[in-house]
Amino acid sequence: GINAEYMGDHLCIQHSMLLHLLYWAYELYLLASNVLVSSLISLCRMCRLLLRRPRCREPKVVAVVGGGFSGFVGARRIAESTRALGLHVDVLLLDQKEYFEYVPGIPRALTDSFAAPRILVPFEETSLASCGVTVCTLRATAIDTRLQLVEAVDPVDDRSGDLVGGLPRHFVCWDRLLLCPGVAYSAPAIKGWDRCRLETRLQQLKWERSKLSRARHVILIGGGPAAVELAAALLTTSRNRNEQKISIVTSTSRLLVNCPPAAGVHALSWLTRRRVQVHLGERVTAIDRSGLSSFTIRCASGRSVGCDLYYLCCSHPPADLIGSVAADASGSAAPDSAALPYRCTNALAHCTCPNVFVAGDIATFDGSPAPPRNAYFAEAMGACAAANVVKSLQGLQDMETIALDAHPVIECISLSPLHGVLVIDEMVLTGILPAIAKEVIRLTKLDDVRGGIVGRLVWLVADASAPSAARALGALQQLHGTYARKELLSTLTEILCTLLIRPAAKAK
């Protein structure tokens, strides 16, 4: 009986151990099944992600040559759009300067020591870093469209920057290229490419201010906004403005030839009332040095004018980067620095290179008049070219086009801190409001460049509403000359209804 009871207990223990073994085996089975299923699910997800990615695992490279208004806006728009669309794209900005320069503020910076640091912003402090744009401080010397390469050298921080034979060369590969090198002035102090570091540019402006303060007679060659604003700045902020003599020599028949005649007439009247001598229709043929610090300006009419200091306030395009490579490959001579601007379609695509887009002052359209050269239209061209670059990366064919008549011609010229000239198409405003508008434009644009929310919102609204506002102001100016002042309120109401209410009703 004892043995039978012992045997029964032993069988119960064995049965219990077997049940425990089966239970743990079942748990291991469930664990292995979960691990296997999870691994299969993860593998399927990974395969699906790999299938969704582009065939080329390397990211597409978009190179932007030039860091001015067009290049800055174009690089930022490309980086933001590709990130929003989920495209794997690297955006490279090639500029031989390490800073962004607000060019409309240079005439004031040449005479005001407090204005110079405000118009120069290092690229590392701009919104490009947050957008994922890589800024390379390189000077592009040639472009090979067949191999899709940009040949560049390290910039030289002096006037001998054209001697690049002994400098190390860099080659940048690209899938899409946006050319925005801009134009330089014959006077590098106004706008040039010979100062790549921020410190040396500030020293150059300081040296120019000291020369202007010592000069007894300053001659400005050119009749555009740069010459007019520099003459006005010398009249209002120069230390010896009461003893200094200022002259403007231009080959055109009036000042501000690209603006309506009323703008040039007002600028001429404002300058001449303050003893500025303006020589219209005088083409400069030679500039001779007649002493250690004196020059003689010779005109085609035989007139000669002596001065202590002169500035060439006229621009010229850079060398033809694409043409230089093609010419070198064919064995012929490369074009000189006075090459014509690049011909492109209304989609800002280069006429002979499908993967190259052009924007800024160097772009000209086939069969269209020359586009206006100002910061507003340069940014519009940069935004349009950026949109077409993104569409090209997506393989789309419907490119956006830019029409000259769709964007208003906007020019804001500051004559003094409390007086200016604002041109919007054919309408000309003078007085204190243009001066305030000039300062507001500078503050908001630099805030936008630095990535400020206020500046970005202001310019998003301004760019979107500028064409409609220009049409409304143009119609208002035309009707103001036709109707009496007492009917102006009803006319303005009718214009607003035409521009806003009727298109909205038609859209509904």
Inform me whether the pLDDT recorded for 247 exceeds 90.
Answer: yes
Residue 133's pLDDT is what? 95
Helix then strand then coil, in percent of the chain rounded to 5, is: 45, 20, 35
Residue 108: name the closest of 330, 431, 438 by CA. Answer: 438
Q: Which residue has the tokens 């085609």?
A: 300
**Strand pairing class (139-144; 133-137):** unpaired
Inform me whether the pLDDT recorded for 385 exceeds 90.
Answer: yes
Name the amino acid, one letter, at 209: R
Inform me whether the pLDDT recorded for 488 exceeds 90.
Answer: no
In this structure, are residues 233 and 115 in contact, taking their beta carbons and an 8 Å threshold?
no
pTM for this entry: 0.78
Inform me whether the pLDDT recorded for 56 exceeds 60.
Answer: no
Nearest-5° Cα angle at 427, 314 to 373:
25
Q: Which residue has the tokens 């049940």?
A: 19
Poorest-confidence range of 18-27, 166-175, 312-321, 334-343?
A: 334-343
Q: How far apart are CA 349 and CA 317, in angstroms?
A: 19
- Could you tell me the pLDDT band of residue 76, with boundaries at 50, 70 and 90? very high
Residue 468's pLDDT is what? 74
Residue 163's pLDDT is what? 42
Residue 335's pLDDT is what? 30
Residue 196's pLDDT is what? 82
Q: How far apart are CA 263 and CA 271, in angstroms?
A: 12
- Could you tell me the pLDDT band of residue 328, with boundaries at 50, 70 and 90? very low
Residue 75's pLDDT is what? 96
Please write the tens of the pLDDT for every residue from 441-460.
999 999 999 999 999 999 98
In this structure, are residues 90 and 111 in contact, taking their beta carbons and an 8 Å threshold?
no
| Residue 406 tokens, joined | 């769709």
Residue 231's pLDDT is what? 93
Residue 317's pLDDT is what? 56
Residue 56: name the closest of 20, 8, 90, 101 by CA. Answer: 90
In this structure, are residues 216 and 308 in contact, taking their beta carbons and an 8 Å threshold?
yes
How confident is the model over 385-400, as a mean pLDDT? 92
Please write the tens of the pLDDT for every residue from 345-382.
888 888 788 899 999 888 877 666 667 778 888 999 99
| Residue 418 tokens, joined | 């409390």
Poorest-confidence range of 39-43, 238-242, 323-327, 467-471?
A: 323-327
Residue 70's pLDDT is what? 93
Residue 15's pLDDT is what? 65
Residue 167: name the closest of 189, 139, 128, 190 by CA. Answer: 139
Nearest-5° Cα angle at 252, 246 to 257:
95
How confident is the model over 30-51, as a mean pLDDT? 70
Residue 280: name the closest of 312, 309, 307, 303 by CA. Answer: 303
DSSP states of 38-50 as a string? Answer: HHHHHHHHHHHHH
Q: How far apart are CA 376 and CA 373, in angstroms?
A: 9
Residue 249's pLDDT is what? 93
In this structure, are residues 9 and 1 in contact, taking their beta carbons and an 8 Å threshold?
no
Name the amino acid, one letter, at 490: S
Residue 266: name the closest of 371, 161, 415, 103 by CA. Answer: 415
Residue 479's pLDDT is what? 59
Q: How far apart are CA 503 and CA 125, in angstroms?
A: 42
Residue 123's pLDDT is what? 94
Please write the tens of the pLDDT for every residue from 165-208.
456 788 999 999 999 988 776 565 566 556 788 898 899 899 98
Poorest-confidence range of 69-78, 294-303, 339-348, 451-460?
A: 339-348
Q: How far apart are CA 394 and CA 60, in angstroms?
A: 11
More confident position, 485 or 267: 267
Please write the tens of the pLDDT for every residue from 97-149.
999 999 999 999 988 888 889 999 999 999 998 899 999 999 888 888 888 99
Sheet holding 169-173, edge to edge: 139-144, 149-153, 169-173
Q: How far apart are CA 174 and CA 164, in angstroms?
A: 23
Residue 477's pLDDT is what? 62
DSSP designation for 418: T
Please provide the size of the chain in residues: 508
Inform me whether the pLDDT recorded for 409 exceeds 70.
Answer: yes
Neighbours of 120 (CB within 10 A): 20
Residue 331's pLDDT is what? 27
Residue ranges of E strands in 426-476: 427-431
Residue 99's pLDDT is what? 93
Please write the tens of the pLDDT for every residue from 144-171.
888 899 999 888 765 444 444 456 788 9
